[in-house]
Structure 1
Amino acid sequence: MISYLKKNQIKSRHYFFRNGVYSLRIKEDIDNQNIDDWNASTPIFIQLEMPEEHNLPDIFMFCFYWIEVGYVTMKDRTMTLRVYEKDLIHMIDIGVAIDLIIESIKNTTN
């Protein structure tokens, strides 16, 4: 098993934000398949203006209970969240997650 892992270079994900059931992680090449599949459906689409001093990557995955439910893109100060796995997460959960992310950014920039 270890030789299989080394051979295929399976590695752990890099989560840069975790709070309870919500987490954000760096997008990896393996995520392209999910994103391609998701683009055939209509997401919950949310755009927010972020503080100037945010340190978020240009694109990252949005996870709920460690399951990828959507992704986020950043352009200048605009954060665009697209949630595709609507059966797994509800609007109230998304609102709470966004509040936590913004609070975390404010705490790290102050």
Structure 2
Amino acid sequence: MTQPGKVLYIIVCAAGPAPDVGRLVTLAQDAGWTVQIIATPPALDFINIAELEKQTGRPVRSQYRNGAPRSAIRAIPTELADRAPHETAPPPVFARPLRPGPGPSTVS
């Protein structure tokens, strides 16, 4: 049985394990998750779309959707509306360079 608000998004790409994604769906649903499948366009040749839609009760998504539906648009809270963007978002995190070491893949 699935629980409201507990959604697992499974992203499927065109690779060898893709045809077995239904097994992952079953495991997730048995653990109480609602499952949404998102497939890259090339992955559509690897999966059974109709079977996965029947299994999940949701459409398999594979196309880019321009913009969010009106229900998904949220207003900025009033207390944040007058702040500069850098005050409302956390600072960016940058990866540190690799330590020098043997091999051609090191950063100098």
| Greater per-residue strand proportion | 1
Higher gyration radius (CA):
2
With the shorter chain as reference, the TM-score category is under 0.3
